[in-house]
Structure 1
Amino acid sequence: MSRKQQLHRPGPPPGPPADDTGCAILHVDMDAFFVGVELLERPELRGRPVIVGGTGTRGVVSSASYEARAYGVHSAMPMSRARRLCPRAVVLPPRHDRYARVSAAVMEIFRSVTPLVEPLALDEAFLDVAGARRRLGRPAEIAQMIRAQVAEQQGLTCSVGVASTKFVAKLASTQCKPDGMLVVPADGVQEFLHPLPVAALWGVGDRTEEALLRLGLRTVGQLAQVPPATLQRELGNALGAHLHELAWGRDPRPVVPRSPDKSIGAEETFDTDVDDPETIRRELLRLSEKVGARLRAAGHVGRTVSVKLRRSDFTTLTRSRTLREPTDVARMIYVTACELYEASGLDRVRLRLVGVRVENLVPADQAVRQPTLDEPETGWREAERAVDQVSRRFGSGAVRPAALVRRADATGGRDEGDTR
């Protein structure tokens, strides 16, 4: 690492600070986020290989501790392979409602610094801190402050890339993981980029990487020296031009603030294909309970309920319905999901996966509900919020619908819940 690229970790800085002039873009990436959240309640597992993910035969890795990554385990890997690579790993099922709550708290820390926050997922976001300099200091100082606040308030670590563009900031945060900070000066972008492998560029997947390697292009610097017309001829006009710009560190995209939640959903991939409607309805109930809890934890309600039904031949059918009023009530989500399933024409058809999602989200405190004359003072919404309180105290699943209490773990598949 050159003098211009300083890696900062807790404690005294190793040398003179890097020049962050013109580096108003931060990319903050939580370190092994799901695992980190689990270790808050399981501190005895610190230092051990830990994997969060589905435990069924079709389960996949959602997150892995750095101790597990040392064995080659990574996210999206089949759990069966992860267990072979790291048989000593502790495997924990995901708790997406918990991750969503912690993510919301972390994003609030970011928004206390600047309103220009662009979440990419539960565990990462871009920030434009140009407007915060007068109040909070230089970009590198702001990045250190964010890391300290995340550690103090949430007990978690994050890595921060500081650069003049989004692309370089994201690469920088990856380079300094875990628990680090890397500043790439505006006049040191090419020095930082050009030694990296071509796979580091956005838009370079496996097939594109193979094509570049066939051309003898192994580093970003080598790619940067190729005329744009040659890249466009070999890779196509759009991709060739895109990679040429990135190879020189050109990325004009601004940070676009938005809500991190466009929809909230949960899916289940069965261990074996299921054609029993009662089993599928029971799974829709379990998923609706998860989605309702996640909506309430995120402070959102939604008007559109959709179901996803994947057949054994991998063909996928989605059906949706827009409600009269937005909801976060699992009972309403479940009733609608069952009606959509029953109208799909897939009764007694073998299904590999089912999913429930709520879309068209708005903040719950901004939603307008029209009460009816016969509406009771308390109902499903109040009951489910009471369940939320019990779950926060005693853990997820402490209270559940009677239909799920005796549910044999026949599915055993992976919960693929997500917030997008």
Structure 2
Amino acid sequence: MEKTILHLDMDTFFVSVERLLDSRLIGKPVLIGGVTDRGVVAACSYEARAYGVHSAMPMKRAKELCPDAIQIRGNSATYTNYSEDVTNIIKETVPLYEKSSIDEFYADLTGLDKFFNSYLMASELRQRITRETGLPISFGLSKNKTISKIATGEAKPNNQIKVDLGYEMPFIAPLSISKIPMVGEKTQQTLYSLGVKQIRTIQEMPMELMEKVLGKNGVSIWKKAQALDNSPVMPYNERKSISTERTFDRDTIDVIKLKGILLAMAENLAFQLRRGQKLTSCVTVKVRYSDFNTYTLQSRIPYTSADHVLIAKVLELFNKLYHKRLLVRLIGVRFSHLVEGSYQINLFEDIEEQLNLYHAMDKMRDKYGDRVVMRAAGMEARTISRFNPFTGEPPPLLPNRRR
């Protein structure tokens, strides 16, 4: 039985939320992100995109391209709340869904055509989301994730497309290679230099040639161009978490040491989130005293994987939880309610230099080990145990190098 996969994507999600809150923004070019010249564009409206503006662009450059654009700092907590509203509607409607980011979803509707018309069901779901939240949304429906995602991109803004079985390759053939998931700017330029601009050309190329040019990535891109994608819809599970604990050889009351270790824990776990393209919306701090009494305190936050946001929240929770003059036996940090997401840091407030710094630090950690670069305040924590959020197995205490 061929699968039936639905891909849903909110249209310019952040901008759409802002327009719900202020109708005067409708039809105008809007930039969301850092409001200073050193800020970065987190999202932009279609009107701004017409001037060449795109996300992750320096705000100064965006304003040069579109001087009449309205700048808004944005509120990640508000966007998270609207995302949860949409998630709840999808959860009530489909049997199996995957939340791949704050504004993007997959659903497996395989076999439902025996009882319902899957396209009609998807259409009704889209209409319900718009009716109950006021937000525009588009979808693509096909036999796999790749084709459905491409179809959604073609359907935008605020529309829907079904790609009938057997018509997948003709549907994507005339499209730009940039439409294929995994084809970034660098890969696109490499293929352009070879005269490969349309997906049709990749469809006609032997797989071995793509492998020779781009390695394993070339094989994956070739398969997607052939409409081959067996990746399953992964059930969304809010209970996934990643955590770390430290038990002391000797109970301690050294607050500076405790905070330094907590800082290092939060920093390291934030890197693990970014490396796994994950975001967290729940932070928990755990303290066990010498009498073995254990206390935890948690807080819900907007989805993030930013060091400075998570470190600040961890230290805030510890300050509320810690009872002075009591010896501490164990401390721990846990990030939960994980979702897939590439919003690696808070684009609404951070500046371009901070984005570049995170990127550089993550590259060093990825190459030489996750403890090769750290904040000075966290130097006390030389070993940090982590639990894999997917397998539950604790990895080695020593830094891993990506194989």
TM-score, normalised via structure 2 length: 0.62
Q: Distance in 1 between matches of 2:210 and 2:220?
A: 10
Match for residue 28 of structure 2 among 34, 48, 57: 48
Q: Which residue number corresponds to residue 394 of structure 2?
A: none
Say whether the 8 Å CA contact 1:120–1:260 is kept in structure 2: no
Q: Distance in 1 between matches of 2:111 and 2:88?
A: 17
Q: Which residue number corresponds to residue 259 of structure 1?
A: 237
Say whether the 8 Å CA contact 1:23–1:185 is kept in structure 2: no
Q: What are the equivalent positions in structure 2 for 1:148-297 lying under 5 Å apart?
A: 148-236=127-215, 238-259=216-237
* TM-aligned CA deviation for residue 196 of structure 1: 1.4
* TM-aligned CA deviation for residue 259 of structure 1: 3.4
Say whether the 8 Å CA contact 2:238–2:337 is kept in structure 1: no
Q: Which residue number corresponds to residue 82 of structure 1?
A: 62
Say whether the 8 Å CA contact 2:284–2:299 is kept in structure 1: no
* TM-aligned CA deviation for residue 229 of structure 1: 1.6
Change over 3 Å in CA distance of 1:24–1:413 after alignment to 2: closer
* TM-aligned CA deviation for residue 194 of structure 1: 1.3
Q: Distance in 2 between matches of 1:253 and 1:329?
A: 31
Q: Distance in 2 between matches of 1:175 and 1:193?
A: 10
Say whether the 8 Å CA contact 1:303–1:324 is kept in structure 2: no
Q: Distance in 2 between matches of 1:42 and 1:35?
A: 10
* TM-aligned CA deviation for residue 206 of structure 1: 2.5
Deviations 1:35-94 (A, max 9, x none): 111111101221111221111232111111222222222211111111111111111111
Say whether the 8 Å CA contact 2:31–2:69 is kept in structure 1: yes
**Which secondary structure state, in structure 2, belongs to the residue aligned with residue 119 of structure 1?**
strand
**Which secondary structure state, in structure 1, belongs to the residue aligned with residue 39 of structure 2?**
coil
Q: Distance in 2 between matches of 1:74 and 1:65?
A: 9
Q: Which residue number corresponds to residue 279 of structure 1?
A: none
Match for residue 39 of structure 1 among 19, 40, 43: 19
Change over 3 Å in CA distance of 1:329–1:223 after alignment to 2: closer
Q: Distance in 2 between matches of 1:91 and 1:181?
A: 30
Q: Distance in 2 between matches of 1:213 and 1:102?
A: 39
Q: Which residue number corresponds to residue 112 of structure 1?
A: 92
Say whether the 8 Å CA contact 1:23–1:186 is kept in structure 2: no
Q: Distance in 2 between matches of 1:111 and 1:64?
A: 28
Change over 3 Å in CA distance of 1:162–1:260 after alignment to 2: farther
Paired positions, count? 284
Q: Distance in 2 between matches of 1:189 and 1:120?
A: 22
Say whether the 8 Å CA contact 1:114–1:131 is kept in structure 2: no
Q: Which residue number corresponds to residue 59 of structure 1?
A: 39
Q: What are the equivalent positions in structure 2 for 1:375-414 lying under 5 Å apart?
A: 413-414=350-351
Q: Distance in 1 between matches of 2:82 and 2:192?
A: 41
Change over 3 Å in CA distance of 1:55–1:182 after alignment to 2: same
Match for residue 125 of structure 1 among 88, 98, 105: 105
Q: Which residue number corresponds to residue 52 of structure 2?
A: 72
Change over 3 Å in CA distance of 1:263–1:53 after alignment to 2: farther
Q: Distance in 2 between matches of 1:333 and 1:327?
A: 13
Q: Which residue number corresponds to residue 10 of structure 2?
A: 30
Matched AA of 1:216: G
Say whether the 8 Å CA contact 2:145–2:231 is kept in structure 1: yes
Q: Which residue number corresponds to residue 296 of structure 2?
A: 325
Q: Which residue number corresponds to residue 80 of structure 2?
A: 100
Matched AA of 1:129: L
Q: Which residue number corresponds to residue 91 of structure 1?
A: 71
Matched AA of 2:284: R
Match for residue 284 of structure 2 among 293, 303, 309: 303
Matched AA of 1:303: T
* TM-aligned CA deviation for residue 23 of structure 1: 6.2
Structure 2 residue runs of 5 or longer lacking an equivalent are 243-262, 264-278, 287-293, 302-309, 319-332, 339-348, 356-403
Change over 3 Å in CA distance of 1:150–1:82 after alignment to 2: same
Matched AA of 2:230: P
Matched AA of 1:147: R
Deviations 1:115-144 (A, max 9, x none): 311111111111112254456x32221221
Say whether the 8 Å CA contact 1:301–1:326 is kept in structure 2: no
Deviations 1:275-316 (A, max 9, x none): xxxxxxxxx9xxxxxxxxxxxxx99643359xxxxxxxxxxx
Q: Which residue number corresponds to residue 360 of structure 1?
A: 336
Q: Which residue number corresponds to residue 396 of structure 1?
A: none
Matched AA of 2:105: A
**Which secondary structure state, in structure 2, belongs to the residue aligned with residue 187 of structure 1?**
coil
Pairwise CA RMSD? 3.6
Matched AA of 1:155: G
| Percent of residue pairs bearing the same amino acid type | 32
